[in-house]
A and B are shown apart, each in its own frame.
Chain A
Amino acid sequence: MAEDIKAKLDQYRTAPFDARFPNQNQTRNCWSNYLDYHRCQKALTAKGVDITPCEWYRRVYKSLCPMSWVEKWDGQRDDGSFPGKI
């Protein structure tokens, strides 16, 4: 399982087609992966487990999201004003 994830991460070039977000507007794709990464990180660190599986979501959102959005959301998370559920 861990080997599959590592293999996938080695092969990673950019975010692949995600059938959940088939259209031109990829806002939801970015948002969803940003949330999934931070939820994954929070859940796995709470269990005290290796967070490598979360790395996929991080790669995807880093590929897709505008940097200004990521900076804004990171700032909001630090403030405690981030509107998404993590």
Chain B
Amino acid sequence: MAHQAHAMLYSVDPSPSPLTGAVAALLMTSGLAISMHFHTTTLMSLGLVLLLLTMYQSSRDIIREGTFQGHHTPPVQKGLRYGMILFITSEVFFFLGFFSAFYHSSLAPTPELGGCSPPTGITTLNPFEVPLLNTAVLLASGVTVTSAHHSIMEGQRKQAIQSLTLTILLGFYFTALQAMEYYEAPFTIADGVYGSTFFVATGFHGLHVIIGSTFFAICLLRQAQYHFTSDHHFGFEAAASYSHSCLMSYDSSFTSLFTDEAS
């Protein structure tokens, strides 16, 4: 039985991607520190280029292995699912850290903040204006992505492409709205612990939305090129799970970070 199970798994060919990815991460992090002290973005930009190359090459290799060479048998797919679930779980904990930072400072506000939350001098955003619209946009994208999923499962090519395109457009709309909010906000990241926690949490969230949109864009290209079948479309499902978790983190930010009485 073990012998049979191994016959359905496969070993990946040697690849430079783990090394290039690790080097990219090193260059980006050290580059970020260097840019803050010596006002030069060279190292960080180099890291970013290497990261983009790694992302392109490694995903192309995985698509070749799965879609074209048929290596993604059911047990392999199961492994990929576990991997994605574990990764998403780690992202959830990543965001939980920023939420605890916010609550740590807002539930017991120090004298420096005026002993109140939101702190003295901070004009908070009205949660029922752009933040509510943003919530609606993300929820709508959840609907469109579910519609795209069902269209893929039912072999409806054109509808899948339409729903997936709409999902990506909603993601762009969110990003544009959030960029405008950032520009118009009455406080900055430098405005005490409120500004820090707000912009770091919403900033990382916005980055994740951009990542989700990019992931869906790849899925759209693949769907257009007939990569997905009605039974086997794990790349799409991974993108959808990732974006759903992103949506959940925005919903929870909405109820905590954006309210006028922060506790």
Complex-state Cα separation, A69 to B115, whole angstroms = 14
List the 7 shortest-distance A-B pairs measured between CB atoms, nearest first: A83-B114, A83-B120, A31-B111, A84-B114, A31-B115, A84-B115, A83-B113
State how many residues of chain A have any CB contact under 8 Å with chain B. 9
CB of A26 within 8 Å of the partner chain: no
* Residues of chain A within 8 A of B116, CB atoms compared: 85
B107-146 with Cβ < 8 A to chain A: 110-116, 119-121
Per-residue interface assignment for chain A, residues 54 to 86, with 1 indicating a CB less than 8 Å from any chain B CB and 0 otherwise: 000000000000000100010000000001110
The interface of chain B, by Cβ under 8 A from chain A, is 110-116, 119-121
* Residues of chain A within 8 A of B119, CB atoms compared: 83
Mind listing 20 A-B residue pairs with CB under 8 Å? A27-B110, A27-B111, A28-B115, A31-B111, A31-B115, A35-B115, A69-B111, A73-B111, A83-B114, A83-B115, A83-B119, A83-B120, A83-B121, A84-B111, A84-B114, A84-B115, A84-B120, A85-B114, A85-B116, A85-B120
Query: From residue A14, how far is it (CB to closest CB) to chain B in Å?
Result: 21
State the main secondary structure of chain A at its contact with B.
helix
Closest to B116 in A: A85
The interface of chain A, by Cβ under 8 A from chain B, is 27-28, 31, 35, 69, 73, 83-85
Known: A83-B111, A85-B116. 5 other contacts (CB 8 A): A83-B112, A83-B115, A84-B115, A84-B120, A85-B120
* Residues of chain A within 8 A of B112, CB atoms compared: 83
* Residues of chain A within 8 A of B111, CB atoms compared: 27, 31, 69, 73, 83-84
Query: From residue A83, how far is it (CB to closest CB) to chain B in Å?
Result: 3
Closest to A73 in B: B111
Complex-state Cα separation, A52 to B165, whole angstroms = 73
* Residues of chain B within 8 A of A27, CB atoms compared: 110-111
Closest to A32 in B: B115
Complex-state Cα separation, A20 to B114, whole angstroms = 19
Complex-state Cα separation, A84 to B112, whole angstroms = 8
